[in-house]
C-alpha cells in the first residue's frame, strides 16, 4: 500500500487543533498518535539495526554496503510507504533504549515477539518465522523426532533455549561456544546432532553448500520476528503491517527469503 506525503502545513493545523482540544478538556485527552505522520512528513523511516548480524544486518566484505535480509525487507517497506530508509547502527544492548528515546522509528534486527516485548512495545505483523530444528548428518536415519535424542549426544551453547530443549529431550549435552563449533562436531561425527534455529541452519547450508547435513525434525512452535516500535507507535506499526502484506502478495518477501536462506521464511 502506497502512502502520500502529508503537507507540513496541514500537519501543523491538525496539531494545533488537537492541542486546543487537549487544553479545553483539562489535558485529559490522550496525545494523538503521530508516529506515521511524522515519518511521512519527514520522508524518512529511521531504522535501528546492528550492522554486524549476518545474514540479517551486516556489511558486505566487512566494510561495504549495509545489507542483509532484515535490511532489505526494511528498504522494501520504506519504499511501500513512499519514504527513504535511513539506518542507524548500534549495539544490541542499546537498541531498545534508542527506540524508546526516539532515536529511530523502528527496529529491524530479527526482534522476536516475546510476551515481555509485546507488553513494552508495538509490533508489526511478523516477516520471519522459524522453528527449532535438529541438525544431523544427511545419512542419519535413527533421529526422526526430539524423542529420538534420548540418550544421544548433542552440541549446544550453554544456557541457550536450544540447550534447554535438548536437555528436556533426554540428550547428553556437550556444551560449546556457538553454532560454528556445534555444527563442526556434527560434521566430524563427534556428536549425534545439534538443536538450533532453522534460520541459522538454512543460512549455513546455503553459504557452505552443506549437503552433508539435513534437518531431522522441527518444533511445532515457531519464533516470530517483526519490526518493533515504541508503545505509542500504533499508527506506524499498522502502516508497516500493510506494507508487509503487499510485499508478501507481490512475492518480494519470498524472493528476499530465497536470496538469503534458500527457502521462504516469511510465512
Give the range among 50-64, 111-125, 134-148, 211-225 with minimum mean pLDDT: 50-64
pLDDT of residue 16: 39
Spatial separation of the C-alpha atoms in residues 147 and 159, rounded to whole Å: 20
CB-side neighbour CA atoms (13 Å) of 51: 15
Q: Name the pairing type of β-strands 44-49 and 84-89.
A: parallel
Q: In a 10 Å sphere around its CB, with 0-12 CB exposed, 13-18 middle and 19+ buried, how is residue 41 labelled?
A: middle
Helices (H) and strands (E) in the chain, counts: 10, 12
Q: pTM for the whole thing? A: 0.81
Cα–Cα dist 232/121, whole Å: 8
So what's the pLDDT on residue 62?
83
Instruction: Report how far apart, in Å, the C-alpha atoms of 162 and of each of 150, 158, 165, 201 are.
Output: 15, 9, 5, 13
Share the mean pLDDT of the chain: 90
Per DSSP (E only), the strands in 15-165 are 44-49, 52-53, 57-59, 66-67, 84-89, 106-112, 122-123, 128-137, 153-157
Same fold, 8-129+224-261 and 131-222: yes
Q: Where are the domains of the chain?
A: 8-129+224-261, 131-222
Residue 123 reports pLDDT greater than 80 = yes
Q: Report d(CA 126, CA 227) in Å as an integer.
A: 7
The CATH architecture one would assign to domain 8-129+224-261 is 3-Layer(aba) Sandwich (3.40)
- CB-count burial class (<10 Å; 0-12, 13-18, 19+) for 200: buried
Q: Of 3.40.190.10, 3.10.270.10, 1.10.110.30, 3.40.50.20, which CATH number belongs to 131-222? A: 3.40.190.10
Output the nine-digit C-alpha cell for 254. Answer: 519470498
Partnered with residue 209 across adjacent β-strands are none
Least trusted range by pLDDT, from 26-35, 61-70, 126-135, 223-232: 26-35
Percent of the chain with pLDDT over 70: 89
Q: Which three cell numbers stand for residue 204?
A: 549455513
Please say if the pLDDT value at position 8 is more than 50: no
Largest CA distance in the chain: 74
Amino acid at each position: 500500500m502506497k502512502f502520500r506525503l502529508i503537507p507540513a502545513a496541514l500537519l501543523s493545523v491538525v496539531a494545533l487543533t488537537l492541542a486546543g482540544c487537549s487544553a479545553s478538556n483539562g489535558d485529559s485527552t490522550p496525545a494523538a498518535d503521530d508516529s506515521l505522520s511524522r515519518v511521512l512528513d519527514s520522508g524518512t523511516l529511521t531504522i535501528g539495526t546492528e550492522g554486524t548480524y549476518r545474514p540479517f544486518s551486516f556489511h558486505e566484505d566487512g566494510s561495504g554496503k549495509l545489507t542483509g535480509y532484515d535490511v532489505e525487507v526494511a528498504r522494501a517497506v520504506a519504499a511501500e510507504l513512499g519514504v527513504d530508509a535511513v539506518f542507524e547502527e548500534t549495539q544490541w544492548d542499546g537498541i531498545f533504549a534508542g527506540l524508546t528515546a526516539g532515536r529511530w522509528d523502528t527496529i529491524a534486527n530479527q526482534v522476536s515477539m516475546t510476551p515481555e516485548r509485546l507488553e513494552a512495545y508495538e509490533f508489526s505483523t511478523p516477516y520471519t518465522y522459524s522453528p527449532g530444528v535438529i541438525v544431523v548428518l544427511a545419512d542419519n536415519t535413527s533421529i526422526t523426532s526430539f524423542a529420538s535424542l534420548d540418550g544421544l549426544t548433542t552440541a549446544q551453547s550453554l544456557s541457550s533455549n536450544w540447550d534447554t530443549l535438548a536437555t528436556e529431550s533426554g540428550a547428553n549435552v556437550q556444551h560449546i561456544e556457538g553454532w560454528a563449533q556445534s555444527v563442526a562436531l556434527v560434521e566430524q561425527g563427534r556428536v549425534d546432532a545439534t538443536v538450533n534455529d532453522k534460520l541459522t541452519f538454512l543460512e549455513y547450508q546455503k553459504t557452505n553448500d552443506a549437503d552433508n547435513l539435513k534437518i531431522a525434525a522441527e518444533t511445532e512452535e515457531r519464533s516470530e520476528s517483526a519490526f518493533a516500535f515504541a508503545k505509542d507507535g500504533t499508527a506506524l506499526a499498522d502502516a508497516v503491517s500493510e506494507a508487509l502484506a503487499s510485499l508478501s502478495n507481490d512475492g518480494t518477501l519470498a524472493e528476499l527469503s530465497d536470496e538469503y536462506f534458500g527457502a521462504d521464511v516469511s510465512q
